[in-house]
Amino acid sequence: MSVLKYESAVRAPLVDGHKTYHQVTEDIIRPIEAAPSRLWKIGFGISVALLLFGVYSVYREVTYGIGQWNLNKTIGWGWDITNFVWWVGIGHAGTLISAILLLFRQGWRTGVNRAAEAMTIFAVMCAGQFPIFHMGRVWMAFFVLPYPNSRGPLWVNFSSPLLWDVFAISTYFTVSLLFWYAGLLPDLATVRDRAIVKWRKRLYGVLSFGWTGSTKHWQRHESLSLVLAGLSTPLVLSVHTIVSFDFATSVIPGWHTTIFPPYFVAGAIFSGFAMVQTLMIIVRKVLNLQDYITLEHIEVMNKVIVLTGSIVGVAYLTELFMAWYSQNPYEGYAFFYSRANLLSPYGWSYWGMMACNVISPQIFWFKKLRRNITVTFFMSVIVNVGMWFERFVIIVTSLYRDYVPSSWSAYYSPTIWEIGFYLGTFGLFFTCFFLFAKWFPVIAVAEIKHILKKSGESWKQEQGVLEDKKVDEFEEVMHH
């Protein structure tokens, strides 16, 4: 699939370092064949430890009840659903990069799409833990699946946004996984073909589904990618729209607002890109992939961040405006007291959100800062902290003081097991990511080769050489 339509005079090359095809393969596949580095082992160890702590936290919650968390009669959702929305949001960048940018023929995506897609899958896996384990009776979770059953049959409630979530998230996960895996096939075959150890040949042989690189394979692969991209594109918009419906369709002031779908989608892309930045900056450093994930990539993603951050900012201001304009006292209270008043119990979370999501990304209007890796890394973390605040603000500050003042809640802060569950999903995420980075090509080798300027450059160079050559020499070359 050629994505390079024309040669840009202004655009910098997408891959640096005048790589040859072989070099590309070497650079990306080598780490898979080598023994894991010390750094990898340490990182993996920490991730697994976090994961195990998370498993224990969840074990406690499942065995002893949701009372292991500090939720209460007024605040029914807290860290659990905050983390759910946060992780789902993070996943969005991967899909956006792989699907929408593919359809828009954005060549730069190839440097980051594989890792971003993996991130999507792992983030959705993490996200999925929360709606599952926030259930009081998780062993009955299968009740949410609409299948013909012997209980009547008793069907699910199709008007519940939580049920829409079930469909949205599971569809999203399935399509993302397929898309990611389809993209992996040629690269897995490359690993197989390079393998000198028997077990690796066999393992990757199975994983690559017998890919031979025939034209037919490539043709099917391209069609499948397009179809999946077509399927994923609406998902980028729909998943977070549906997640936002969890709140928007309710009657709670601060939740009941029509602005949520676009606002959530923008926020999701915002946080997703920030997470991609965080990961890519680490990966390019650790795996020495600076030539593939270039400053160009980082800059262009920073542009997306400043755009979506500003969209989110406008959404925040719109909410405040509507709270005033509607003159609905309950909405007014939620926005002007529970949130915008810095001195109210959770005022810190609202202003933390504002500072992280709206104000600080504005530094990316400056090219110098956009191209500064340290600043970018720092900002990417800030943005994700801010987006966590945003979900916390939406969920907790709306719930803790809603309609009936008698039920206003005492201060909610999480228990160690609530935090442990969150940390556990970090453990899950990074465990998966470390495994992925070790056993799979983190950059789409086949796709990078499509955009390798090297091919064009070499061709041009050769043409130039040819012009100087004599006919017999040329003929000799042609004979080869």
Partner 1 sequence: MSKSTIWQSFGQRNQTEAFEELGQDEFREDLPMELDDKGILDAKTPRRDFLKYLGFSTAAASLAASCEMPVKTAIPFVNKPDNVVPGVANYYATTFTQDGDVLSVIAKVRDGRPIKIEGNDMSPITQGGTSARAQASVLDLYDTRRLRFPAQIVDGKTQEIPTFEAFDKTINEKLASLGGAPVVILTSTITSPSTKKLVGEFIAKYPGSRHVTYDAVSYSGMLLANEATFGNRAIPSYHFDNAKVIVSLGADFLGTWLSPVEFSKQYSKGRKINEEKVELSKHYQFESILSMTGANADERFTHKPSQEGVVAAALYNLVTGAGASGVDEKLKAGLEKVAKDLKAANGEALVVSGSNNTNVQILVNAINSAIGAYGKTINWSVTSNYKQGVDGDMAQLVADMNAGSVGALFILDANPSYDYPAAGKFNEGLKKVKLSISFNAKLDETTQLCQYSLPNNHYLESWGDAEAKSGYQSFIQPTIHPLFKTRQWQDSLLKWSGSTKDYATYLKEYWMEQVGSIENWDAALRVGVRYPGEVSVSAGSFNGAAVSAALSACSVAPQAGKWEVVLYQKVGIGTGSQASNPWLQELPDPVTKATWDNYAMISAAAANELFGIDIRKNGDSDSYEVNPGKPVIKIKANGQELELPILIIPGTEKNTIGIALGYGRHNKVGIAVRGVGKNVYPLASVSASGNRVYMVANAEVEKTGEKYEVAQNQVYNYYIDSLGVKRVEVVKETSLASFKANPEKFKHERDHLFEDYAKKSGDYRNEGSLYDPRLNDRPGIHWGMSIDLNTCTGCGACVVACNAENNIPVVGKKEVMRGHEMHWLRIDRYYVNKPGGDPDDLADVVFMPMMCQHCDNAPCENVCPVAATNHSSEGLNQMTYNRCIGTRYCANNCPYKVRRFNWADYTGADSFSDNQVGIISKVTLDMNDDLTRMVLNPDVTVRSRGVIEKCSFCVQRLQEGKLTAKKEGRPVKDGEVKTACQSACPTNAIVFGDANDKESMLTKSREHSPLRMYYALEQIHVLPNVNYLAKIRNTDEVEEHAGHGHAEEAAHG
Site for partner 1, rule CB under 8 A: 63-67, 70-77, 131, 134-138, 140-141, 143-144, 154-157, 159-163, 166, 246, 249-252, 256, 326-333, 336-337, 341, 343-345, 399, 401-411
Shortest reach from residue 434's CB to partner 1, in Å? 32
Query: How many Å apart are CA 257 and CA 397, to the nearest integer?
Result: 15
Element at 195 (helix H, strand E): none
In the structure encoding, which two tokens stand for residue 220, read together? 């099917």
Contact by Cβ (8 Å): 249, 239: no
Q: Which is nearer to partner 1, 327 or 374 (CB)?
A: 327
In the structure encoding, which two tokens stand for residue 5, read together? 């339509």
Query: How many Å apart are CA 414 and CA 69, to the nearest integer?
Result: 6
Query: How many Å apart are CA 398 and CA 394, to the nearest integer?
Result: 6
Among 257, 264, 253, 261, which residue's Cα sits nearest to residue 399?
Answer: 253
Shortest reach from residue 32's CB to partner 1, in Å? 42
Q: Which is nearer to partner 1, 6 or 411 (CB)?
A: 411
In the structure encoding, which two tokens stand for residue 70, read together? 């500090």
Q: Which is nearer to partner 1, 278 or 349 (CB)?
A: 349
Shortest reach from residue 78's CB to partner 1, in Å? 10
How many Cβ atoms are within 10 Å of 153's Cβ, its own excluded? 9
In the structure encoding, which two tokens stand for residue 40, read together? 């990898």
Q: Which is nearer to partner 1, 117 or 331 (CB)?
A: 331
Sign of the torsion angle spanned by Cα atoms 445, 450, 454, 459: positive
Q: Which is nearer to partner 1, 81 or 279 (CB)?
A: 81
Query: How many Å apart are CA 353 and CA 340, to the nearest integer?
Result: 11
Helix (H, G, I), strand (E, B) or coil at 306: helix
Shortest reach from residue 267's CB to partner 1, in Å? 20
For 63, phi and psi rounded to 5 degrees? -80, -45
Query: How many Å apart are CA 222 and CA 312, to the nearest integer?
Result: 35
Shortest reach from residue 168's CB to partner 1, in Å? 12
Contact by Cβ (8 Å): 428, 436: no
Q: Which is nearer to partner 1, 408 or 439 (CB)?
A: 408
Sign of the torsion angle spanned by Cα atoms 458, 461, 467, 468: negative
Those residues with Cβ within 8 angstroms of residue 465's Cβ, 6 or more apart along the chain or in another chain: none
Shortest reach from residue 431's CB to partner 1, in Å? 27
Q: Which is nearer to partner 1, 370 or 401 (CB)?
A: 401
Q: Which is nearer to partner 1, 40 or 330 (CB)?
A: 330
Shortest reach from residue 228's CB to partner 1, in Å? 28
Shortest reach from residue 202's CB to partner 1, in Å? 43
Shortest reach from residue 249's CB to partner 1, in Å? 7
Task: Tell me if the bond preceding 153 is cis, omega within 30° of 0.
Answer: yes
Shortest reach from residue 283's CB to partner 1, in Å? 36
How many Cβ atoms are within 10 Å of 437's Cβ, its own excluded? 24
Q: Which is nearer to partner 1, 2 or 327 (CB)?
A: 327
Q: Which is nearer to partner 1, 84 or 263 (CB)?
A: 84
The most distant pair of C-alpha atoms in the chain lies apart, rounded to whole Å, by: 96
